[in-house]
Amino acid sequence: MGATPPPVPWSRGARVTLAAAALTLAGALLAHLAFVFLSIAPPNALSVRHRDAVEAYVQPEFGQDWKLFAPNPMQRNDAVGVRVNTLGPDGRYHQSEWINLTAQDIEAIHGNPAPSHVDQNMLRRAWDAYVATHSLKGDRPKGARGVMTRDYLERVVLQRIGSTWNGGRIVSVQVGGRFTLVDPPEWSSETPSDTTDYRLLPWWTVTEQDHRSL
C-alpha cells in the first residue's frame, strides 16, 4: 500500500476567512444574548437608554413572555407596627407607644447569612393578605377569606409581642402600616415621591383564647 499523502495545508487567505467568520459569529451571538437579556431584565441604565433599539431587534421574533427575575423586587419601604392596651395590676388601663415590628424583623436579618423566611416574609405577607381581603372604608372583610386573614394577622402580631406588655395584660391591639415609595435611580426619568401613606386598622379585643397554640 502506498503512503498516505500529507494533508494540504490551508492557505493563509482561508485561515483568515475562517477566523473572521468565527469572530463574526461569536460577536453576533453575544450581541443577540445582550439584546434579549436587556429586553427581559428589570429596567436599568442601558435598557432605558436603548429601549427603542432593543425592542426593534427583539420583537417579534425573539420576544419573551416571561420575566428574568420573578417576582419583581419591591419598590416601596413598608413598616408594620402595633400598639396595645393593657390592664395593669392596679386595675387601670394603659396604652403603649407604637412598636415597629418590621424594624425587629430587619434587625434579625442584618448580618445573618441565612435569614429565616419567617423574619423576611411572614409579617409582610400577613399584612398584604389582610389589605387585599378588606375594604379600605370600614375594613370590612371580603368573604370568608377576609375573616381568615384578619385572624392570621392578629395571631402573627400576638406571637411577636406576647400576652403582656410592661407588666400589664394585653387586652386589645391596633395594627398600622406606613408605606413610602423607594426613590428611583439617578438615571431614571421618574419623579421621586415625597409622600408617605398610612393605614390604621380597628382595635381588636384580645382574649386568652387568642394566645393558644402561639
* Phi, psi (rounded to 5 degrees) for 102: -65, -40
Bridge partners, 122 (sequence order): none
Using the CB atoms, write b or e for 130-143: b if 16+ within 10 Å: beebbeeeeeeeee
Bridge partners, 99 (sequence order): 82
In the numeric block, the cell 398600622 is attached to: 176
Q: Are 129 and 146 in contact (CB under 8 A)?
A: no
pLDDT digits (tens, 9 = 90+) for 83-136: 999 999 989 999 999 999 999 999 988 888 888 878 888 999 999 999 999 998
pLDDT at 2: 58
pLDDT digits (tens, 9 = 90+) for 39-48: 888 778 888 8
pTM exceeds 0.85, yes or no: no
Out of 71-80, 130-139, 200-209, pick the least confident.
Answer: 71-80
pLDDT digits (tens, 9 = 90+) for 145-197: 889 999 999 999 999 999 999 999 999 999 999 988 888 777 777 777 778 88
**Residue 163: closest CA among 86, 81, 83:** 86
Is the pLDDT confidence value at 68 over 70? Answer: no
pLDDT at 47: 81
